[in-house]
Structures are given as C-alpha cells and as structure tokens.
Structure 1
Amino acid sequence: MSDSSFGSDTDPLDLRRIQKERRARIVTAIVVVTLLVSIPLLLFRTTAFKLEIAPDKANETVRITTDEGMALAVGKRILLFGQTTKLRIESVGFQPYQTRVDRTTQDRVLSIMMDPLPGSVTIHVQASSDVSVEVQGTEVSGTPPLTTELARGVYVVSVTGNQIVPLQHEFRVEGYGVTQDVQLVTEESTASLTVQVVPNTAAIEINGSPIGHGVYNGRIAVGTHEISLVAENYLPHHLQVSVGINEQVDLEVVELRPLPASLDVTSNPSDASILLDGTFVGSTPSKVTIAANKEVEIKIRKPNYLTQTTSIELRPGERSTRSFNLESVEIQAEVNSSPKAVVWVNGERKGSTPSKLVVNVGDVVKVTREGFASQSVEIEAAGPERRSLDFQLVDELRDKYDKSPELLVINDSITLRKIPPLQVSTRVPPDIAGGSDPSTREFELTRAFYLGTHEIRRKEYAKFVTSLKVEASNEDLPISEISWEEAARFCNWLSAQQKLEPVYVFESNGGVTINSAALGFRLPTEAEWEAAAQFDLYRETVIGAYPWGSADAPRTGSGNYSGRESRPEMYPFLDVHLDNHVEVAPVGSYRQNANGFHDLGGNVAEWVQDRYESKSQGLNQKLKDPLGPQSGLDRMVKGADFRTHDLKEMYINSRRVVGLKDETVGFRVAKWLW
C-alpha cells in the first residue's frame, strides 16, 4: 500500500502518525515472533537446581540472589541459563552463605547449612571492688559492663575478687544476633589472711602479686592461692592455701631457712672421704653444701692415713675453702688361724698363717683354706699400731648350713624345714626285717636338706595343674590320687618357679633319671623320710618304732588313722585309737612331731624317691646317702594313712607299693642344700 491510498484531503500530521503506528506494530510483531522462537530455545538450554536450606529457622527470612552469570532465582529454585553463577543466600540471624553453581554439577539438589550469628551478651556486675569475670573458664578482659559475642547455648559466668564471695551464674544465649543483658550482684566476703615472716624483710606474694613485707593481715579471695615468701640469702618458701567463704586463715609465723653455704674441700693426697656431721657427702676434691648459721663438723678420712677433724660455721650463701694435709699410718698385724690357712691382703696373696704383715687402715685381710669357709676383716683406724688378727675357720659346708635359713617358704604356703647332716641307727622290728630278731638299720646323710613340714595341699597343686577344682572346703586337704611321676613333675615345675635346676630328667622312652647334683625340689629319699620321722634332731635320740614313740597305740592327737571314729562307716578300725576324722583331714590338723613335721604318720601315705624293694637296704650294714635300688618297676610309699588300722603298717620302717595312684597317697617335697 502506498501513501497514495490516503485521500488528498488527509492531514499531513495524521498521515505521519498513522505511519509511525504502522511501523510500531511491525516492530512489535517482529519482537513477538522472535520471543516465540527464542523462549523454547532458551528453555532447552536452562538447568534447574533445587535448594534445601537448614536449619528450618533460616527458611523463614531467606533471600537468594545471583551475583554473576545468567540465572534466575524462583523461590528456592535456581534456573541457570549460562554455564555458571554465584549464589548469595541471606537470612536474618544467620551468616551470609555464598556458593558457586555450575551446569556440570550432577546433583540437582543443593544442601545448604547456614551458620547462626552469635548473640551479643553484656554482663553487668554490681560489686564494691575490682572483680575478674570468666565465661566457661575464659577470662573476659576489661571492667564491667563487659560485652562479648557467644554462640547459641548454655554458659556459666564466674565472678571472683579479693573482697567478694565467688559467684557463678548459668545463662542461655539465644544467638541469631540477639542482644542480651546478664545482671549479676555480688556479695562482699570477709575472708582474710594473716601471716608473719622471719626475717621481716621477706616479700609476701599471692599468686605472683606482691602484697607486702614481713607481715600481712588483710582480705583474700575465696579459693586456692599460692603464697610465696621470698627474702635475700634465704630459701624461698611456697605454700598453697585454700580459703573458704568468710574464713580467717592464720599462717602464724613462717621462718625462712637461710641459703646453704658452700665449701670447697681439698686434700693431699686426694680421693679422701668427706663426712659432714658423720654423713658421707663425697670425696676430695669436692664442693659440698652445708647449713648456714650452724657449726658443722668436717671429718676427712682415707685408708692408711690419720683422720682429720675440724668444725666450721658459715653465713647464708657464703663460699669458703678448706685444705687438709693427711699423714700416713702403718699397722703391724700378726695373723693367726686354726687350722693353718693362706693369707690375702686386698686380694693379693701374702703367705700362710702364722704371718706378720704391715697393713693400712681400710685394708681387707682374708684367710682361706680348701674345705673351709673363708673369713676376712677390714683394718679400722681405731686401735693400736700393733694388732693380732686371729681366725677360727669353720668347715665350709657347716658354715653354709649355719647361714641357711631355718625355714623356706615357697609360693606363699609351702614351708620346708632344714635338717643337718646326720647318722641314724635304729632297730627294725622282726616282722619288718623279715626274721625272728630285730635288725639294725644304719645310714649316714652327708648332705643337709630341706623337707616340707606338711604334705602338698590341693590349693598348692592347683597352681601346677590349673584344671584341678579347688574350693574353700577342700583347699587345705592334701593332694592325693596322683602318680609318682605326677609328683615328680610337680617338683620340676616348682624348681622352675624358683629358677633352680630340676632333679628329674624325663626321657623319651618313658624312663626317669635323677640328677643328684641338682639343687631343685624333689621327693625325699626313704632314708631322709625315716630320719625326719624317727630321729629327734634336738635330743639326738631315736623317737621309737612308731611316729608317736614306742607305745603300741597311737597317742591322742598324734595322727589321722582309722580308729573307733570309723566304726559307723563300717571301715576296719583300730579299737584302741580315736581321732577326729573318718576321711582325710586338712594338713596340720594333728600335732607336729619333735622335729616340727606334721602327718608323717596318718592322713595320707607319701611317695618317696626310692624304687621299691621288699627288703630294706642297710640292715646290719651302714649305708651312706642311700638313694634306694638302682632298678625296679615300682616306687615306694612310706607312712600310714587315714585307712590304716594295723599297727604293723604304722611302723616308721614299714614300706609298701600301690598301683599307679591311690586316694590314700600324697607327697611332700624336699631339696638338698648342696
């Protein structure tokens, strides 16, 4: 359409208006068409993200903006048109949160955790003096009122001061930027401290802060304080004082100790002992510390030299020097011994007794002889210049026996008693000796030994065999119904416990050999068992044929045999005897014998080390350290038991065998001293 379509009478102004409106409609149409085409394309390239904001309170006033990139926030959804954008999330009472979102992010749900703003707390304290304020143990510096920022939560504020009662108050901080006031009112304290110090120039400090000199009588805060008292030339004194509410603490008079003085001590020759008031403090040359304002005795001592003594008194902190010239001394010694022996001085051989020697103070004179215990003496300063040293040597083994303890206690409860070397000669009854007349049994034991005063208890054996059930009612009963080999293995175990060489060697073929040189624990030999049961070591006489003596009936309380108490149980019994136990009794229930051993007669019979032979060895001939037959299938059992009712079986010389094990057989332990 051309402009000629308008009539000739059309106003030119109207014409221009119409043309302008036409052009506007054309532009609008083009824009609409462009938008209709672009929007689908834009939507096709848009990535949507969903925001999950915590805590819930942050959602109440949340505001989301984009700082860069092409993105649109619609509620808690983000439409990302470009490649990336930066989000800023704000909410009243929370720290602003910023994050970057990228089109390549796989997770389309973004979890946002916003941090609450702290609360602003102003603490007001009403007090008549200076105070210190702490919140949760952290000091808030400054003078009240004090303002601090605290995260949401429950807090404890503490107020302390020299003139107030300590105050603690719990309060809750709302957080989220909320401003709060905490009002505290303190109570005046009348707690006080009184102290007087000698010397009066001493400074008095409380918790490192000076409060005066010599005397203090004033206020002090409730709580624990370190009091320091310090003066020149005196040792500082520190003490802790706990002060309660309104408590008056009086330390009375505290006297400081003067600083010690020092003394440089030298001698010619050197390496002399220094003694202060009789106490060794070092060797010359040496710097020693001594108490000030006090007279101290100094003694200088060196072997082969005369001791020198002097006194000194020094002021606090003073340092002084003392030198000593020592004079040598020699002693004429005449050494004698019985029997004749070799003489040694400080480990160097000097001949044989009798001998005349020149020795010095501190020398060690020693005499030795094979088979005898050595003896020695140290030459002392006190005494004449001519001296006689006389030694009476003692048999080495006898000396070892005399120095060994009378009793050994092993594993808390196993007690062994010492028995010396001895010779025993007894009359063996005909029915034991196997003839019509009594025989003589003689033997000599040259090795001292220890023997258990009791049979081994169940509680003691249970430490070896841990599967053994032990109760309070049976722990003190003797262990029984075990084989000879089990008893020997217990002895080896006990030796290992005490780090001793075992006596029994268990061979791969089942045999057992005895290492008679070992000093570990073992079963007693028959001879040792009979010596302990039949020979009174103190009177050196034979007790009798039975453990209780020679009477043909057990004495009351002498042992646990089968007497009239067994009648109700239908056991065979000895009509002339009565004791307190039908069955086995706790060890030690009956009287000990003359040598201090329990239950060598009665209760349970006992394994011994010897192999069994029907006829006793040593009849009418003297034996030395007998160990029994060299071969044999069975091991020997000695002593009567709680089932024994035949007097013949109660003889000390009686011996028997049992099967592998028996309920009436237990054991006790022994060991050689050498």
Structure 2
Amino acid sequence: MRTYSLREPLGSRTLAAADFPLTLGGPGAVVLVPRVAPGAVAALVGLADGEPFLQPAGTVPVRLGDAALTESAWLHDGDRFDIEGARFRVDADGDEWGLTVEHEGGANETEPPLYEDLPLAIGAEDVPARQALHAIAFDAPAASAAAAVRRGPRVRVSPGRVAVWTVGGVLALVLAFLFASTAVTVQVKPGLDPDRVDFAGAIDVGTGGWHLVLPGEYELRVEKAGYVAGVQKVTVTSAANQKFELALAKLPGTLVVDTGGVRATVTANGRAVGEAPGELTLPAGTQLLAFDAPRHERLERTVEIEGLGKKQALQVQLVPGYAAVKFESVPAGAQVLVDGRAVGTTPYTGDLDAGRRAVALAHPEFRTWESMITVKAGEAQTVGPVQLGLPDARLAVRTEPAGADVSVSGAYRGRTPLTLTLAPGAAHEILVTRAGYAPVTRSITLEPKAQQSLALKLEAQLGEIVVQGEPRDAELYVDGRSRGAANQKLSLPSVPHTLEVRKAGLETFRTTLTPRPGLPQSVKYELKTAAEQKVARLGGSVRTSSGQVLKLLPAGRITLGSPRREPGRRTNEAQRIVELKRPVYVAVRAVTNADFRQFKPDHLTGAFRQETLDLDNYPVANVSWEDAAAYCNWLSQRDGLPAAYVRQGGKLVLASPATTGYRLPTEAEWEYAARADGRGGARKYPWGDNLPIPPKAGNWADAQAVYLQGPVLENYDDGFRVAAPVGSFAANALGFYDLGGNVLEWVHDYYTVYPEGGAPAVDPTGPNDGAAYAIRGSSWLTSRVAELRLAYRDYGASGRPNLGFRIARYAE
C-alpha cells in the first residue's frame, strides 16, 4: 500500500489518501506559502488512482521545473516546482511518496560592527549626523595573505542574531495560524469530559471542549474511557462560535453468569447472546434475560448492565422441569409406556418431563391399562399399584349385505365387516341395523383371548311405490337401472331410492323417496319439453319495487290482424302469423298516476270536461311515447336491471341486443296477451266473439258519458263517466286487466302497415324507425263497436287524455 508524507519547516506528518487534495496557499490552506493572501489557494496536489498530480489554481504563477504550469501535471521523483518564490521538491521511492517544502532562502548578511573607539556625537552642531567609516591599513603576512586569497571572503554570523531570526519566524507562523484559525467548541453527551479530541489532519490548539482549528473539512474523533469512540465529519468555517456535538455510547459490559453447572441457552430481550455458565457481553442498560435448559423450566431475570467495559456477576438457580414417577402393577412385569415410548418394566421409577403424559401398562397375559397423568415439576408421585384385567376377546362381525351398523351395549362401534375387542366373561348385547332391513340382536359372552365370528343375513323390509303419469310410454329408472315402462307398481327396500322417468326430447323427471313397509306411496310425473320446463322454472310472475305485478306470458303462436270479411275491419289490420318464443313478463295492469308520479312528481293527467283524470289509482294518461319509455328506464335503474332503451339520434330506441330491463310491450305481445282465449284460439272482442256487449265487460263510452260527447254505446252502462281505477273489471283468460278498455295503450313498435301473409315472425319488435308509434286497445272515449275489436290499430306521436301504457320485460 502506498504511503504519503509532507515535510515542511514546522515538521513532518504522514498523510492518508483521504487527506488529498492538499491546498497550497495563504493562511487557511493545508500548506502555507509566503506572499499568498490569506484564504487564497495557489495550487492543489491531488491523487488519481493513487498517483499524485499538481493543478494550478490560476491565482498566482506556478512553475514546474523551468516552465510555467497552466494545466494539471503528474508529479514524479525529483520534480521541483515554485510558487511565489517558495520551492517544493518531490521524492518518490517505490510505495513511499513525499513532498518537501523549501521556503524561499537568502544570505544571512550581518550588519557592520560599531567602533567602540570612536564616540558618537549626536546633536552637536559641529559634528555630522552620520560619521564616515575609515579604512584601517592592515598588512597581513604573506602566508596569511595567500591563505586569505585561497579561502576567499569570510562571513561571520552572530549566534544571537540567528536565534532572533528563528524566534521571529516562529512567531510569524504562530501569528498567521492565530489569524487564520477559528475557535470551536466540542460538546460531548451525556455531559462527558472527553479524554481526547482530535481534528484529524488539522493543526489543533486547545484542550477539553475548546479548540483553535484552521477552516476546512475534518474527521472529528472524540475518545473517553469506557465509551465507544465517536467519529463525525465536520466542516470548520471562518464563522465565530462554532459548536459540534457528539454523543458517546457506553461500551458493553461483561456479565459473569453462574447457573450451578446447568448448561443453558441465554437470550437478552429475545435475542440469543450465548450460553451459561460463562461470560456474556451485553449492551449497557436494562436487559431481560431468559435461560432455557433441557428438562428445566424457563427462567427470566431482569438485569441492569452498567457497561463501560465493567464486569458484573449474576447467580441463577434453574428449576428442574421433571419429577420422579413410580409405576406399580399387579401382577408385576408389565411394560411401562410413556407417550407411546417404552421406558421400563414394573415396578419402575423414572424422571418424567412435566405436563400431561399418556401412560400405559402392557402385560402379555393381561389387558393393557391406559391412562393420562399430570406430572408437576419437582413433585414425585406413584401410579398404582394397578390391577391388570384379563385380556380381551375378539369378535368378527360379517353381514349380508355389508354396510350394517353395529352397536355393543348401546355404544356405536362401526360398520360391517368389523372386528370388535370385547371384555371377557361378560354378556354383550350386539345390535346390527341397516336401512331397509330388519334389525338383528344377539347376546354374546366370550372367554379371555377368544377369537370368534358372527355372520348374519339381514332380511329386507319392502315398501310399495306406484308410479303414474304422462306420457305413458316413458321409461322408469330406479337408482340408475332401467325397470321398464314408467307406469307400474314397485316393491323396494325401505331405503332412499332415486326414481327417474325418461323420454327422448322431453325433460327427465327425477325424485328421491324412501319406501315405508305397509304404507304404499304414489309418484306422479308429467314430462315437458325443455321450453316448458324453462318457463316453469322462471316462475309465473314478478313484482317491481313499486308493487306492479308482471305475469309470465306463455309461449305460443297467434295470427294477428283480422280477416278481410270481418265487419268493421280496417286496411291496416292485415293478417300475419307471429310466434313468441322468448319468455316475457307483461304487467297485469296499466301504469297508474301514483306509479308515474314516483318518476315525475309534478305530472298531471288533468281533467276532461270538468271530470278529473288525476286520481292515484286511475291509469296515467297525457304522456308521450318518450315519456313512457323514459319511465321504463327509470324503473329499470331503480330495480337494478339494465336499461331497455338507449338514446340514438335524439330518440330512445331498443338496446341491441335487447336487455331484461323494463320496456313497453311489443305490438305482437300486446295482441297475443289481449286475444288469447286460453284454449289455443283468439278472441275478437275483449269479452269474446259475439255481440251484444255483456254487462260490466269493460270501461267504454257508455250512457253515463252522453253529456261528455255525442255518440255513446247504446244500452251499456259500465258505471264510470271517464276513466276507472285500474283492475275495476274482470281479467281476461290469461289474467290481464283492461286490455281493450279504460285507456288506449302505447306499445313499443313504430307504426307501419304490414303486408298480408308471409313467413311467421319470431318475437318481432316492429320497424327500426318511423314517424309515429302504434297504439292498441280502446278507451272510455270509444263509442264505435268496430273500435272495440282487439285487432283495431291506431297510431300517434303525442299524448292524449285517454292514452296510457303498461310495462313488460324479457324474463331472461
């Protein structure tokens, strides 16, 4: 490793790599250069990969050899450089490198001596102020003259004068140091008087906590006996009253532990610190010591460690974690097992660890004795003498069929095939049971060590099951095995059985039952198609959060419109076939004023010629198609369903694909729900196919409305002048109210005139665009029989006092 040194008039010192770069300049620099102003740096000596180099600072001229130095240059052995007349020499020998400072030199010229023979007259008028020196002739001998010629002039310097110059130089350096240095205070915590304070690499004058140090960066080291030395990087500036604080930590202490010879592992505050007995090195302060030794109880002790490198003594006594236990048996010679491990033969005494222990006494001629004991540390105990019983006998139980449950004297022992261990010399009640079979009871007494078998054939208990249903040509399966035609009578064991009735193309019927002896049971089945089963699983109705009931519309096919020769037929009633396959729920009643005002609290249906239409249970009216669709979306959001309508081009249109949110019924769904008679046919009028109108068949323009408008239905009185509360009249064949009476109803479809015939349409939703929407049904303003027909179609774009709506939604 390379070493570095600096030699200057004030002494020599060894440098470390961390001391570089060295500043060369005026007071405040690492190396002082005369004639350089205080605080100014003339050059730097630095290291690069361990090799020294010289770099001028540019403030004063620097010469390396005979040339002016303007940039960094490597320093080699024998190199000399000059700064303001101060000379420096480089000495390098292998791994030793040194820099020697040779400050400016000069002749020590002496002043001329004063002639003591010539008195000085000072102040006299006739005597000049400075007297001239007169040469004195001197003839030296030839030899002496020759010698004088050979030696040349001889200069003599007074020793006193040399001493004066030396003192003066030292004083000048001291004054320069005092002028450039800074007074700093070093405070050591906690309130310590340090033994040594060292600013590494600095000329440090001072003692205790007060020091004079030249400005610069240093490594401050503070030492105090009994404490860990403190080291801190500090920067000394020219500012006054600088203070540095260091905290010293106590050195660890040594704890000499005596455990009485018991080897123990020691932890301090949960950290392993060594073993005892022995010496432990521990930090100063409070320590929670724990001593763990095999087969001894754990011991904890709190100790205050003084530290400061001092020794302390601690004596602990560990408590054994075991106790002597004696085992005795009658007869003797039984093997003693503790927690399944053999430890000896009775009579036996041994040390057992404290705690709950499973013990057993095993003798080849007698029954094994087993028990649990509690061993308390340091407390001896005796187990026994234990009277060993006679050895057990073994009974193997087999049944046909297997899987029967076996109980002995009321205690369940397992399922056949089973081998039992039974006490000898006593009668044991054996009960064998299996579901569907008669129970069997036996009483058995066995000899010691006997091995005996018990084989039983169980008698089945049968129950009668009668299976009936449609279609009759379906096939019956019992527990996965075919039993032939579905309609038959079965005799089955009284255990749970799975019955299935299967036929291709139909949903399988499945049930589980347990036959009961002497109690016949019947099973009814009806196989349905997958679609029928699906509808059955959906449930017949759903209810909205506002209490509106929607009924599941059965799937089916219907011919919409009317025949050409039907009286009152209009040209927009072309007949076409539709098929409804996707399950859909349709509201059984129209939306009421109360329902709609939950959506728009300020809505008013209004009045018709002083007759109010605004009662809560009246159907809502005077709403546009957009109002009805917006209500559906609001209700969907409220009930956690996806919106059925989305806004496109400024209009609400059905989402694609269609969701399960609330919407208006399609025209096909409305006409199907209104006309289906429940027998596969289609009604012409809301009440049926024939005239006259039956009493109370619906709410139309009757005799009570004559003063409201001109034409009315003759000889008919429904009891209401205008609108009626929803559901005031009987429901139709499918359970829907007011389809074809009370108010007209918006449906989902854009209005269009369909062509006659064509292929059946499946779940149609009408045109994709249009100028008006379809309106279906009749109302309390309808007075013409032709408009009471359920095939009658109307259209519009804005609300009317007799136009409302009901809601629908797809089931899935």
TM over 0.5: no
TM-score (norm 1): 0.43
TM-score (norm 2): 0.37
The structure number with the bigger radius of gyration is 2
- If asked which structure has higher relative contact order (CA below 8 Å, sep 6+), I would say 1
